Structure formats: C-alpha cells, structure tokens
C-alpha cells in the first residue's frame, strides 16, 4: 500500500482529531511579552483551517474521479461541502466542533470511494496532478498534526520526536521516517527569500504571495527573512497541480461551437443547448 492510500485510510481519524483540538484548553504561554488587552482566539484556527482545506480538496478529488470514471451509481455528496460566494469549495458544510462524528462519517464515505476505485484512480491520466495535490492536503498534515496514542513498533528503542514512540527511524536519502506515525524529517534548507526565489526559478513577488497566504513559513535569521526550500517546493507543486486540474476541468466542460450559414449568406455562431462532459 503506497503512502497516498495510507493517507486516505488515516484521514478520517486525522480530521476527527483536528476537530476535537480546535477548542483551546488553558492558554499555553510561549514566553513572549503579551499585551494585557490581547484576547486569545476562541478557537485554534490552525486545526480548523486544516480541516476545511483538507476536506474541500478530498471532496474535489472524489467528485472528479466519480465523474471521469463513470461511477454515477454513487450518491451525490453536494450536501457535504461549503462553498464561497464565487462557488468555490472551501470547507465542510457543518460546524466541526459541534459534530465531529458526522465529519468523520463523511470523510470515511469520500475516502472509502477513492480506495475502492484506487486501481482506476492511479491508472488515470489525471493522477499525477492529484498526487501532487495530496502531498499538501493529505501527506503534509499527517506530519504536521501527528495522531496521538499510536502503538509503538516492538524492539525499536529510539524515540520519535513527533509521536514519542520507541522506534528506529527508517533512513532516507534526505532525511528520516518514523515507522510508527510515518512522520518524515528532511534536512531543512533555509534560504533568504530572494535566494530561494532564484533557486526555485520564481519571482520574489511569487514567494511573497506564498508567504502571505500561509503556504510557506517565513522566519527571521540575522535580520533577513528566510523560507525553507522543501516547503516552497511542495507549495509550488501544489499550485501547479491545482492549475493543471482547473485547466482539465475547463476543457471538459467547454462547449463546442458551430458556425452555421444563414439564408442571407451570413455566418452565425451556434452554441449547443446541452453539453455532456467528455470522460477520460
């Protein structure tokens, strides 16, 4: 079973876990000076945003492959997703803190369909696009929000810095991987923003946009702002995959026009009243 299928298996547990930790407990001090007038947020926005983002992307993936693989016998999932004013899917259609059980049920429904279709999904020409998207909305959250209470692997007496299990890390070429929680740690490559833009072949303005939307983390070192190249590469690949997915969707639903000569000898463009999407 590859890591993407593993992620689909674990995603219901992860989103339910995040829904439970949205509500903060006692305020955890970070040692930094804080204004007396500063009121803590009523919820932890990080887990809440992650639930919405991951669920919306999962919903899009299931919806796409249900269409292109002709799985029309499966019920619609439109009631599960929340849309923005412009119609874009932005999250789950419920208050996750009030109903984490329904969130889990919906996630099991969506991931279960993709797992059942998995051989056809990975054989489809669009799979490389969705694989890159999953790196950001499924694989990265597994590392960022490790699930608690995982059973340790026997006779591997090294403590994982994320889950605390006594395991040996599986050595990779550019980092390590925990066998228990699948947490991965790559060698970090921090670069000043301008240098990172050059190495990535992108403009500095692009990196500034990535930072502003929270796609990549920015820290200050020696008076300069730095970003981590691996995280930038993940976000770049995610944006490119998202762009390619949108192009495929536009191409599938673009109506074919026809030029028709009228009795007067003029030509007029005729649009079909109903266009069926091309499958494949």
267 HSE (CA, 13 A, CB side): 4
Question: Which pLDDT value is given to residue 173?
Answer: 43
Q: Are residues 11 and 111 in the same domain?
A: yes
Domain that holds residue 157: 146-186
Q: Are residues 168 and 246 in the same domain?
A: no
pLDDT class of 115 with cuts at 50, 70, 90: very high
Residue 235 sits in a domain whose CATH number is 1.10.10
Q: Are residues 175 and 125 in the same domain?
A: no
Q: Are residues 65 and 155 in the same domain?
A: no
57 domain residue, yes or no: yes
Question: Which pLDDT value is given to residue 31?
Answer: 46
Q: Are residues 139 and 155 in the same domain?
A: no
268 domain residue, yes or no: no
**Tally of domains in the chain:** 3
Of 68-72, 99-103, 187-191, 231-235, the one with minimum mean pLDDT is 187-191
Q: Are residues 135 and 153 in the same domain?
A: no
Residue that terminates a domain, selected from 137, 168, 186: 186
Mean pLDDT of the chain: 76
Q: Per-residue pLDDT for 29 more than 60?
A: no
Alpha helices by DSSP H, listed for 69-126, are 100-116, 118-123
pLDDT digits (tens, 9 = 90+) for 7-20: 999 999 999 888 87
Q: Are residues 109 and 2 in the same domain?
A: yes
28 domain residue, yes or no: no
Q: Are residues 156 and 206 in the same domain?
A: no
Question: Which pLDDT value is given to residue 128?
Answer: 93
274 domain residue, yes or no: no
DSSP structure class, residue 254: P
Comparing 89 with 137, the larger pLDDT belongs to 137
Residue that terminates a domain, selected from 131, 162, 186: 186
Q: Are residues 141 and 151 in the same domain?
A: no
What CA–CA distance (Å, rounded) separates 19 from 96? Answer: 6
DSSP code per residue over 16-49: HHHHHTSS--S----SS---TTPPPPSS-HHHHH
125 domain residue, yes or no: yes
| 131-1-117 Cα angle (round to 5) | 60
Question: Which pLDDT value is given to residue 166?
Answer: 60
pLDDT class of 118 with cuts at 50, 70, 90: very high
Q: Are residues 200 and 113 in the same domain?
A: no
pLDDT digits (tens, 9 = 90+) for 159-211: 665 676 665 544 444 555 666 666 666 667 888 999 999 999 899 999 999 99
32 domain residue, yes or no: no
Q: Are residues 72 and 16 in the same domain?
A: yes
Q: Are residues 152 and 58 in the same domain?
A: no
pLDDT class of 109 with cuts at 50, 70, 90: very high
- Can you tell me the mean pLDDT for 75-79? 90
71 domain residue, yes or no: yes
Q: Per-residue pLDDT for 26 more than 60?
A: no
pTM above 0.85, yes or no: no
């Amino acid at each position: 079973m590859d890591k993407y299928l593993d992620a689909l298996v674990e995603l219901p547990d992860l989103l339910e876990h995040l829904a439970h930790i949205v509500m903060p407990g006692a305020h955890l001090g970070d040692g930094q000076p804080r204004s007396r007038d500063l009121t803590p947020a009523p919820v932890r926005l990080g887990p809440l945003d992650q639930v919405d983002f991951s669920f919306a992307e999962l919903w899009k993936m299931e919806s796409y492959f249900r269409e292109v693989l002709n799985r029309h016998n499966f019920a619609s999932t439109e009631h599960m997703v929340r849309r923005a004013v412009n119609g874009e899917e932005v999250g789950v259609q419920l208050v996750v803190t009030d109903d984490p059980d329904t969130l889990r049920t919906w996630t099991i429904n969506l991931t279960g369909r993709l797992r059942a279709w998995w051989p056809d999904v990975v054989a489809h020409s669009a799979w490389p696009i969705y694989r890159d998207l999953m790196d950001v909305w499924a694989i990265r959250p597994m590392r960022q929000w490790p699930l608690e209470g995982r059973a340790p692997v026997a006779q591997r007496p090294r403590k994982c810095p994320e889950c605390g299990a006594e395991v040996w890390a599986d050595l990779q070429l550019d980092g390590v991987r925990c066998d228990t929680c699948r947490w991965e740690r790559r060698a970090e490559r921090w670069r000043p923003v301008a240098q990172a833009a050059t190495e990535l072949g992108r403009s500095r303005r692009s990196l500034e946009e990535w930072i502003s939307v929270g796609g990549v983390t920015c820290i200050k070192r020696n008076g300069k702002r730095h970003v981590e190249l691996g995280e930038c590469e993940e976000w770049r690949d995610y944006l490119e995959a998202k762009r390619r997915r949108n192009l495929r969707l536009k191409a599938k639903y673009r109506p074919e026009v026809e030029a028709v000569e009228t009795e007067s000898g003029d030509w007029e463009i005729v649009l079909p009243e109903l266009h069926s999407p091309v499958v494949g």
